[in-house]
């Protein structure tokens, strides 16, 4: 139903971030209230802008698949004010294709997607298994308890990404540090700026090295097979870094936590490892770690699902809300590893759908299975109420996960 601008202004809500007490895996309750009213509702942005919030599964797919909802940075704003989510409208480096629309976006996607096909990703399985086993050897030999985020969930995606980009061993620690600073709630603006500059410097050095001596990794291949400029390669490598690290890290840690908090589901998985792929899908749906965005800006005035969208309106899709839509999933708030559906939007949808989804799925299934097999008696090393959560971050998760075995 089309509401007048005035009534939209009156009914606009702020973007909710507080998770319900008791269940750290459920999205903030106001999302369900908004969705019951309408899958697309008025949203008040922190600077007063009146935009939209999308909470329904079908509407989320429709917005993300409609290029009239642009991914360009101009006019974009975050629905919450958190460090690291400030979206700058300044010129971004060429090659940051996540912030582009077709046809420019399509051009980069085509050049890159062949490195992320199912076939290509399957070839990585033995290497990922090897890296996982090595990390678990170190974890086990420490005797425990350990913080699983630091010991396992952070280093595994870092090792995989480093291998994809050809990052030398000695650069991995400083690289990880700068990425941490960029994503940390406690970093100051200056610290972030400094890490951004240092990270760009390291990536430039990596690109120069790949041009001189191209390796078999993605960067090496791109320098040989394409005409991409250094600036474009900088943008691409930045996107790959930002997109693939935090998300996978927090899925690994939060997913393990969710399994430990649902012992009957964990027991079912331990009893039948062939449920692993379904369990990964259900964890992706149930946890939906990308909790702020995707964000789009209406590129023109148009009618969408009976509502008048105005050019410049900022639309935030809530993936956690869409993935708990009762119209899309039966009993959506129940965590059920036998649900057997891939219809969720944890990886987004449409032209910008996650390019690394095969890789992420592989890392998660190898990661969870190897961890759970290695430690048959894995358990929390602190009471559950002492495990914090990352509510004010783009990627939801647990800052620490102390475990013993």
Q: Which region, left, alpha or beta, applies to residue 82 given φ > 0 means left and ψ of -120 to 50 means alpha?
A: beta
8 vs 253, beta carbon nearer ligand HEM: 253
163 vs 191, beta carbon nearer ligand HEM: 163
Instruction: Please give the residue ranges that form the binding site for ligand HEM (CB under 6 A).
Output: 64, 97-98, 109, 239-240, 243-244, 247-248, 251, 289-290, 294, 346-348, 352, 354-356, 359-360
50 vs 243, beta carbon nearer ligand HEM: 243
111 vs 346, beta carbon nearer ligand HEM: 346
Residue whose beta carbon is closest to ligand HEM? 356
CB 363 to ligand HEM: min, Å? 7
- How many angstroms separate the CA atoms of 362 and 359, rounded? 5
Q: Find out whether 148 and 405 touch, Cβ atoms under 8 Å.
A: no
- 3 state DSSP class of 42: strand
Q: What strands, in cross-sheet order, belong to the sheet with 50-54?
A: 13-14, 40-44, 50-54, 314-317, 295-298, 69-70
CB 120 to ligand HEM: min, Å? 12
Per-residue b/e over 360-389, b at no fewer than 16 CB within 10 Å?
bbbbbbbbbbbbbeebeebebbeeeeebee
CB 99 to ligand HEM: min, Å? 8
CB 376 to ligand HEM: min, Å? 25
Closest CA to 53 of 112, 3, 12: 12
136 vs 158, beta carbon nearer ligand HEM: 158
269 vs 280, beta carbon nearer ligand HEM: 280
The residue count for the chain:
405
CB 294 to ligand HEM: min, Å? 4
CB 25 to ligand HEM: min, Å? 15
Closest CA to 262 of 346, 367, 380, 345: 380
CB 7 to ligand HEM: min, Å? 30
DSSP notation for 277-329: HHHHHHHHHHH--B-S--EEEESS-EEETTEEEPTT-EEEE-HHHHTT-TTTS
- For residue 391, whether the previous peptide bond is cis, meaning omega lies within 30 degrees of 0, is no
CB 288 to ligand HEM: min, Å? 8
- 3 state DSSP class of 155: helix
5 vs 114, beta carbon nearer ligand HEM: 114
Please name the residue that has the structure tokens 């959506």.
Answer: 332
196 vs 243, beta carbon nearer ligand HEM: 243
């Amino acid at each position: 139903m089309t509401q007048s601008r005035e009534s939209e202004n009156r009914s606009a809500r702020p973007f909710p971030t507080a998770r319900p007490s008791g269940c750290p895996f459920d999205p903030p309750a106001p999302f369900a209230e908004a969705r019951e009213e309408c899958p697309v509702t008025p949203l008040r942005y922190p600077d007063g802008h009146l935009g939209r919030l999308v909470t329904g599964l079908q509407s989320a797919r429709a917005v993300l698949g409609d290029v009239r909802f642009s991914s360009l940075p101009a006019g974009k704003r975050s629905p919450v004010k958190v460090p690291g989510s400030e979206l700058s409208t300044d010129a971004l480096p060429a090659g940051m294709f996540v912030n582009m629309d077709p046809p420019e976006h399509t051009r980069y996607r085509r050049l890159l997607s062949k490195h992320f096909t199912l076939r290509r990703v399957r070839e990585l399985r033995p290497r990922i298994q090897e890296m996982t086993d090595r990390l678990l050897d170190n974890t086990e030999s420490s005797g425990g308890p350990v913080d699983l985020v630091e010991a396992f969930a952070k280093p595994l995606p870092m090792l995989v990404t480093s291998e994809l980009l050809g990052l030398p061993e000695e650069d991995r620690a400083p690289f990880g540090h700068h990425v941490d600073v960029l994503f940390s709630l406690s970093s100051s603006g200056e610290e972030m700026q400094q890490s951004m500059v240092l990270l760009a410097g390291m990536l430039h050095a990596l690109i120069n090295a790949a041009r001189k001596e191209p390796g078999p990794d993605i960067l090496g291949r791109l320098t040989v097979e394409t005409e991409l400029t250094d600036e474009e390669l900088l943008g691409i490598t930045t996107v790959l870094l930002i997109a693939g690290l935090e998300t996978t890290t927090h899925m690994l840690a939060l997913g393990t936590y969710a399994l430990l908090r649902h012992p009957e589901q964990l027991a079912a998985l331990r009893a039948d490892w062939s449920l692993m792929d379904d369990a990964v899908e259900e964890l992706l749906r149930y946890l939906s770690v990308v909790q702020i965005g995707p964000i789009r800006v209406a590129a023109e005035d148009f009618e969408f699902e009976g509502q008048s969208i105005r050019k410049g309106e900022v639309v935030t899709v809530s993936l956690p809300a869409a993935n708990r839509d009762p119209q899309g999933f039966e009993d959506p708030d129940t965590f059920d590893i036998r649900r057997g559906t891939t219809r969720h939007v944890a990886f987004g949808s449409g032209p910008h759908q996650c390019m690394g989804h095969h890789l992420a799925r592989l890392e998660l299934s190898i990661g969870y299975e190897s961890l759970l097999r290695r430690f048959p008696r894995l358990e929390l090393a602190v009471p559950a109420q002492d495990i914090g959560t990352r509510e004010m971050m783009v990627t939801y998760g647990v800052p620490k996960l102390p475990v013993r075995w």
